[in-house]
Structure formats: structure tokens, C-alpha cells
A and B are shown apart, each in its own frame.
Chain A
């Protein structure tokens, strides 16, 4: 049996692992770090222009073989499993949560507080923004105070978004350019500047932060050893002790051979689905419910946030296609008074071409050809603008919002695959209708400012976006899986980092928060090694 030894074994090769390793290599030069990732490395940057073109022309997936067909979960919102993870094709949105997210229990009597102070998390937001080279403007809301500036000014607003900002702010809400992890006008971190290709899911220049760049840089500098296409199926304990002895990996080309990864310390960085999954799969006689699971909370409180979407039309003219990956955000409703019904959400605005696409038939069913088609298209396209609206709203999971092992779905090894079933807690379920009514009122108020109207009835989403949870952090072993650094209560040399540790999922994009927490976890990991 091949044995691979290192100081730290990181299981999972996504954005949080990239940030953790980068930081650890600075804190502890010479540390032997191994990253083990089930998916493959897609480091062929030269082909990205071709992948992009074929994605546009044929709808082909722009990240070839970034999935493992028999390693999929029910309830998962992306199939991607590769070095870089879902951040290979993220949009780069880098919104912060707000202090309220960390104090839901103490402020509102809802869900739970996080086991760290806002000032502490805010410090790590600044560090995360620096490493991701986030482009943003200071928030117009004074409560969003920052201890450090953004590394770059915001992405300049397109003409369309300037028009929409003027329109949207007539509602009384204040809007800002969405903060983005994107090199605006000059290279940074070995990545190029933005060329506005409108395809951030596969960026030809690397302007948008993508973890594959970080891994290649760390590998070239010999700061990490990467073992890709190696699925860790189980963690095993030292004899008679509760510390982790090894991770057992299986390479895709050698499915019958186990490779043992031994390390002083293990970090699970496999995201909200696969981190709790491997803990549950690692059950043994001493931990019959899975590792790190004396509390019974591994795989529980699966969170994220739901959202409400709407389309509006307004009188002002815009020109769809200018920079459709950018948007506006208002943080007006991040705060909620403690003496009013609870509702928290962000408010997002995109320009849109909905209802303004070419059509083959006229309203009376007549087939349109050539100039007729163009004339009919123009008659709709040049009449006002379509606007896409969305609110990510704060939804809280119940303990029964769970990831479980599904005996009806197994991979090639016979391991049961995860099944995720997200459930609201009673208070969150009770306010679903009121939240929808509130967001509808906000959207209608915005639309009316320019003789506009909503063209469809806003509806609650049927899935939770930016998923997190499953290994919640907390202050006590009875109510959480790990502490605020991600160190598990049950195993002193096992950390879980990033998305799984969140007790609640906030009301805006989560990646910046996952990264900030992971950078903070690096301090905890380094400290644990020292001690």
C-alpha cells in the first residue's frame, strides 16, 4: 500500500483549500502540505478561449471532465468536482455578510449566534478581499464600515447599469456596483486584466479569481503537493486514540488500490456536501455515527439562502449585452429593527434582454422572415428596458435540514452517496409568505419609479443558493461540530474549514465569507501545529 506522509493533509482542492494553503505556506515556510482532490486538474489555460467559444456556440460545458459521474449528491446544486472546485466557474461576487448574521439569536431570538465577533470576521474580510483582489466601492450605508479599503475601485458601471442605478434609487434604496473578484485594468496574481468577454464562467484572461492559478503557483514554488483524481473515502483513527491517523484515498485509475495519507494534522476542505459526507462514511466502532459526530450534528443544519426573483420593464432605453455579468446591489435590508417583523435580504439589479429576443412568429402567429423579423424584434427591443431583480433572503435551517447517506445511490466502491434535504426551521417557515410580500412590495416600488411594472409575479426559489452548513461551528461540543477555527471538538488534529462551518447562510453570496473564515482557520491550524 502506497503511503504518503506530510505535515498537513488537506482533503479537497477548492477555493478555501487554496487560500488556506497559501496562508499556511506564509505562516510556516517549509511545511509539507499535501492537497488530495477527487477531481482532476484542468490547468490547460491555452484552451480556455476555445472552450469559451464552443460553450457559446454549442452549449458545451467549458470545463471538460470536471465531474465524476458516480460521485454525485441528491440536492447538490453543481456537479463540479475538480481542482478549483465550483470557484472555477463562479461569477466572482464578493459581498460581505453583516453583523446581524453573527447575532441572530441575541438580536432577534432566531436560530443561533456565530461563535466569533464581527470585528474579528471583518478583519479577515479585508484579508480575503486583498488576496482575491476585490474591486468595490465603499457602501453608502454607514453601518457597513470597513477597517481597510478595497484593493481596487469598483468595476465601472456600464451605461446600462448607470441608467438602472438612477432608476432603482428613486425607490429610496441606495445601490452600489457589485464587488467583484476581478482584475479590472491591470494584471494581478499571475492573472490578466478583464476584457469584458461576458462569460465569467470561463474567463479567457484569468481576470476573475480562479483557484487553479493559485494551485499552479503553489506547486511551482514547491509549497504544496497536489494529488488529484484521488477520492478520500475514509479517515481512520490512531489505535486507542481519538486523533486521525490517516486518510484513505483511491485513485481513479487504480480503484482497487488504497493510498494512505498520513499527517500530523488533517483539514477537511471539501465543501458543504463532501465534508460531512466523508465524516459520516468514516464511522467506526468508537464513533458509530461518524467522525466528529458525538454531538450528532454532522450533516445537520444544512443552510444557504433562498431567493425571490422578478422581471420588470421600465421606460428608459438600455442596450443589452454591454456587461451583463455585472450588477447592482443594495444593502438596505441587511438590517432589520428588532421591534419589527424579521426580514433581511439583499436587493440585486441586472440589465436583461428578457422579452427582447428575436422571435420567429408575430403575435398573430405569422411566420416572420428576414426584414420582417428584424422589424418586429426592433419594435420590442427599442421600447424601454427589461430589468432582472432578485433578493437573497435570510432563511434559517432546522436541525432536520440534513445531509444523510442515501442507500439507494452508491458510487463504484459501494459507498452511499449524500442526499441533502434542506428544511426551514419553524420561525423561518412561518415568515415565508411575509418575506415574499415584502420583497414584492420593494420590487413594485422600484418598478413604479419609471412607469414600470413587474411582468411576472415574484416567487420564492425552489432551491437554496450558496449552500453551506453540515459541520456547524459553535462554542460547545454539545451544540456544534467544531470551534470558530474549524477545529473539531472530537479530534484535536482534524479541522473542517469554509462553507460547512457556517451556522446560518446569510442573505448574500457566501464565497467571500467562506474564504475569510478559511484564512482565519489557517491561523488556528498553524497554532495547532506549533502546540
Chain B
């Protein structure tokens, strides 16, 4: 994103309630504006390492990598200062907040450092240690439940939300070809959905 555009959209976001509850004063700083809006390949590598723990094994390593790729695409395509759904009943104007990418980068770095202090890369730690690291990180970021969609509080919780709230995860949970929010012929929905294994 060009600097002028970033200034404009961040200024718009400052006038509205941010989707991502990142303090606006921090994100309007020169340091924040200098950040890129994508994660680096090294940071993506860490996410792939974490994905093996936080995403289901049923989708396989390939499926976990795809989930990370989809999340990286989500980060890259994020737009700041865009009006969010007004709602109905008690509508209000809310705009999307600053890109979560800078915050994510810091969280990944912190996770790497914490893992190193415990003896190595995240995926090589015991499950007890991995859970403890994430529990501590989520608590510090005030992540109490899986967000409805990524909300910028913590990169790992957002990766999990991006996958577990997907149509594919819904199918996996029910072991059924439901295809929520995908194109389907109406007749397909009039019968009990077929199991995934068929």
C-alpha cells in the first residue's frame, strides 16, 4: 500500500470504531506506517510450523499448508478503512481498522523467542509446552474464544478462526458434503448430505 493511501485510510479508521482493536495512536506512528502489509516468507514458515499443532490432522500436512496460504492471502488482501456491514435493526457505521500484519509479525517473533527459550522451534516442543506458550500468548492478547473471523488480536487465533470458520471445516466437523456458502444445485440440498469419504 502506498504511503499516502495508508495515511488516508488510517485517518479514516481513526474516525471510526476499529474492527481490530489496536490502539490507533500506535498505528498512526511512522514506525507502523513503514511496515509492510504481508508476512515475510520466514514468518510464513513459522505459521506453517504452528499450523501442524493448531489445525486438525485430518486435513493432512498439505491441507494445513493450504490453510496457511489462504490465511496469508487474507492478510495480503486486507483493506483498511473500508465500511463494514452496517447491520440491521440498530445500524452503525464501522470501518475496518489498520492492517493486522505488523502486529502479527511481532507476535510471530515473540512466539519464536518464547519457543527458543524453551529449547527450539515451536513444532519441536512438547505438546504441553506448545499449549502453554499459546495459552500465555492468547491471554496476553485477550483472546477468549475463537473469533467469528480474524480480528487481529493474535495471529495464531486468527489462523485457527480462518480455518475453523470455513465451509471446509464445517464439512469436516459433520463429515458431510454440505458446502455452506458455495454454489450448489438446489436439489443437492434436499437430501441428507453425503459423507466426505464417498
Which residues on A are within 8 Å of B, measured CB to CB?
54-62, 64-65, 67, 69, 76-80, 155-159, 162, 184-185, 194-199, 319-324, 357-361, 367, 369-371, 373-374, 377-378, 381-382, 463, 465
Contacts and interface: CB of A to CB of B under 8 A. Distances in A.
B86 A79 contact: yes
Interface in B149-198: 149, 157, 160, 164-165, 167, 169-170, 172-174, 176, 178-187, 189-193
Contact of A76 (B56, B91, B182): B91
Contacts of A361: 144-145
A159 B184 contact: no
A57 B85 contact: no
B186 A155 contact: yes
B145 A359 contact: yes
A67 B93 contact: yes
Contacts of B184: 195-196
Nearest to A65: B83
Contacts of B86: 61, 67, 78-80
B10 to A, nearest CB: 17
Chain B interface main SS type:
loop
A360 B160 contact: yes
Contact of A381 (B52, B91, B145, B173): B173
- Report, as a range, how many residues of chain B touch the other chain: 35 or more
Contacts of B183: 195-197
Contacts, number: 153
B134 A58 contact: no
B118 interface: no
Contacts of A56: 181
Q: Which has the most chain B C-beta neighbours within 10 Å: A80, A194, A370? A: A370
B190 A158 contact: yes
B192 A319 contact: yes
B189 A158 contact: yes
A435 to B, nearest CB: 20
B178 A322 contact: yes
A381 B173 CA distance: 8
Nearest to B86: A79
B32 interface: no
Contacts of B91: 76-79
B56 A371 contact: yes
B193 A60 contact: no
Interface stretch (B21-29, B39-47, B74-82, B109-117): B74-82
B135 interface: yes
Nearest to A382: B174
A60 B84 contact: yes
B90 interface: yes
Contact of B181 (A77, A80, A197, A373): A197
A61 B95 CA distance: 9
B181 A371 contact: no
13 contacts: A57-B74, A59-B84, A61-B85, A155-B186, A196-B185, A196-B186, A321-B178, A322-B180, A357-B146, A360-B157, A369-B127, A378-B173, A381-B173
Contacts of B127: 369
Contacts of B72: none
A107 to B, nearest CB: 31
B179 A157 contact: no
Given A57-B77, A320-B170, A324-B180, 10 more contacts: A54-B79, A76-B91, A159-B190, A198-B180, A321-B180, A322-B178, A322-B189, A358-B165, A369-B130, A371-B57
Nearest to B180: A321
B115 to A, nearest CB: 15
A5 to B, nearest CB: 36
B131 interface: yes
Q: Which has the most chain A C-beta neighbours within 10 Å: B90, B93, B96, B178? A: B178
A184 B23 CA distance: 47
A192 to B, nearest CB: 11
Given A76-B91, A370-B53, A323 B181 contact: no
Contacts of A58: 74, 78-79, 82, 84, 96, 149
